[in-house]
């Protein structure tokens, strides 16, 4: 493929958000393409993110192919009220121009308008396919993080285990669903909970209703809130904490569609960092668990309790879980696989190499 000038409406102005740097920016740098955020300039192809103004003249009245990188499952809103509220908020804040309508309608219409849609899981692909048959499933690149050999366990002289939670605060309230289990485990096992995330976050549109992450955790963890530590998210901090962690947890509120349809990125990151992991039974995590053979999915509070204790107390089992996960990464989530998928997505709208 010739070197392209790619017009891009990013998730963040600096291109520093995970959804920018681990996706389009990763591929463009690897293949020698140029990303252009000044959309007045001449480009060969346009890529729109979820933060785009879907009615902008740069995306509607275009003369080049359009690709929509739709990372989250906005086609399946939590409920009609939330959907309408998000659409109105984006309209009144100026993020989306034109008529006010439910946000999922904006996303649906833009999927139809695009030449191709990229998403991050096969479950999301099923939602998008009725509106655009040229849909490609591409996970994030995690190569900004090292591939650490198992087992990665701390020198546990004081017999205090460390449990890791990593991610954006938008999903942190899933910890409430297992707080009772963690409280029960703490009666017999000493541990601390390390949350590698943002200290503060915005509840609405990443710019309104600022919240303090620790206050949210104090409310959701209750009597064991004193076991929680917040470490500001950065690649270096995540690696440092992972090296001292014996277990990672990814509990989700699966009643929220956007969380239920989350891809498997966080699980794959934990495996990459050499940490065994337990998750809620979302479609993506269940699929990966079945395909890999790893015992990661917890279907009940009893499962969470049994599996947490087993992974903390049985180092051989924990080591084997990491080996299984990393073997899966080597087969299904490599740099070359991701780059080829991006190549195919672009070739589908501009022609072959």
Tens digit of each residue's pLDDT (9 = 90 or more) over 276-316:
999 999 999 999 999 999 999 999 999 999 999 999 999 99
Mean pLDDT score, 81-94 = 91
pLDDT tens figures, 7-56: 999 999 999 999 999 999 999 999 999 999 999 999 999 999 999 999 99
Kindly state the helix (H) or strand (E) to which residue 203 belongs, with its residue range: strand 200-204
Question: At 21, phi and psi to the nearest 5?
Answer: -70, -30
User: Rounded to an integer, what distance in angstroms lies between the CA atom of residue 73 and that of residue 233?
Assistant: 24
| Residue ranges making up the domain that contains 69 | 5-141+334-350
Q: Does residue 148 lie in a domain region? A: no
Residues 202-209, mean pLDDT to the nearest whole number: 75
Q: Could you report the per-residue pLDDT of 49-83, keeping only the tens digit for each?
A: 999 999 999 998 778 999 999 999 999 988 899 99
Distance of alpha carbon 76 from alpha carbon 82, whole angstroms: 11
| Nearest-angstrom CA–CA distance, 298 and 286 | 9
328 and 342 fall within a common domain: no
The pLDDT, as a whole number, for residue 352 is: 61
pLDDT at 268: 98
Give per-residue pLDDT as tens, 213-244: 999 999 999 999 999 999 999 999 999 999 99
Residues 6+ apart with CB under 8 A from 273: 145, 146, 148, 152, 238, 239, 242, 243
Those residues whose C-beta lies under 8 Å from the C-beta of residue 303, and which sit 6 or more positions away, are 297
Give the span between the Cα atoms of 143 and 239, in whole angstroms. Answer: 12
Question: Number of structural domains, the chain?
Answer: 2
Burial of 339 (0-12, 13-18, 19+ CB in 10 A): middle
Residue 120 in domain: yes
Q: Is the dihedral of CA 318, 320, 325, 330 positive or negative?
A: positive
Sorting pLDDT into bands at 50, 70 and 90, what band is 157?
Answer: very low
Order of strands across the sheet that contains 191-197: 228-232, 191-197, 161-166, 247-250, 277-279
CATH number for the domain that contains residue 316 = 3.40.50.2000
Please state, in angstroms and rounded to a whole number, the distance separating the CA atoms of residues 106 and 112.
10
Question: What tokens does 227 get?
Answer: 């076991």
CATH number, domain of 108, equals 3.40.50
Question: CB–CB of 264/294 below 8 Å?
Answer: no
Q: In this structure, are 220 and 299 located in the same domain? A: yes
Residue 216 domain-assigned?
yes
251 lies in the same domain as 294? yes
What is the C-alpha separation between 343 and 62, in angstroms, rounded?
Answer: 22
Residue 326: predicted pLDDT:
98
* 147 domain-assigned: no
The pTM score is 0.94
What's residue 62's pLDDT? 78
Same structural domain, 170 and 306: yes
Cβ atoms 19, 71 nearer than 8 A: yes
Check the CA dihedral 317-322-325-328 and report its sign. negative
């Amino acid at each position: 493929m010739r070197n392209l000038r790619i017009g891009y409406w990013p998730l963040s102005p600096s291109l520093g958000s995970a959804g920018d740097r681990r996706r389009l920016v990763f591929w463009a740098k690897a293949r020698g393409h140029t990303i252009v955020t000044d959309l007045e300039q001449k480009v060969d192809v346009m890529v729109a993110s979820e933060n785009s103004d879907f009615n902008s003249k740069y995306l509607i009245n275009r003369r080049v192919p359009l690709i929509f990188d739709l990372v989250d499952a906005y086609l399946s809103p939590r409920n009609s009220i939330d959907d309408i509220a998000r659409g109105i908020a984006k309209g009144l804040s100026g993020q989306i121009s034109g008529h006010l309508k439910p946000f999922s309608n904006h996303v649906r219409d833009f999927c139809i308008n695009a030449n191709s849609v990229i998403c991050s899981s096969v479950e999301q692909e099923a939602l998008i396919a009725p509106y655009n048959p040229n849909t490609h499933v591409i996970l994030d690149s995690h190569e900004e993080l090292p591939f650490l050999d198992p087992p990665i366990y701390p020198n546990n002289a004081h017999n205090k285990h460390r449990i890791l939670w990593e991610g954006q605060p938008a999903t942190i309230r899933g910890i409430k669903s297992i707080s009772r289990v963690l409280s029960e485990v703490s009666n017999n096992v000493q541990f601390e909970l390390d949350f590698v995330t943002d200290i503060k976050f915005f509840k609405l549109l990443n710019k309104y209703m600022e919240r303090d992450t620790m206050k949210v955790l104090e409310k959701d963890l209750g009597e064991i809130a004193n076991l929680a530590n917040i470490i500001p998210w950065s690649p270096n901090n995540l690696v440092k904490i992972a090296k001292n962690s014996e277990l990672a947890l990814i509990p989700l509120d699966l009643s929220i569609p956007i969380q239920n349809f989350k891809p498997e990125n966080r699980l794959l990151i934990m495996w990459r960092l050499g940490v065994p992991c337990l998750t809620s039974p979302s479609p993506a995590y269940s699929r990966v668990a079945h395909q890999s053979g790893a015992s990661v999915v917890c279907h009940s509070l009893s499962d969470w309790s049994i599996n947490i204790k087993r992974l903390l107390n049985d180092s051989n089992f924990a080591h084997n879980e990491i080996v299984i996960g990393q073997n899966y990464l080597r087969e299904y989530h490599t740099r070359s696989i991701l780059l080829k998928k991006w190549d195919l997505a672009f070739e589908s709208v501009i022609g072959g190499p």
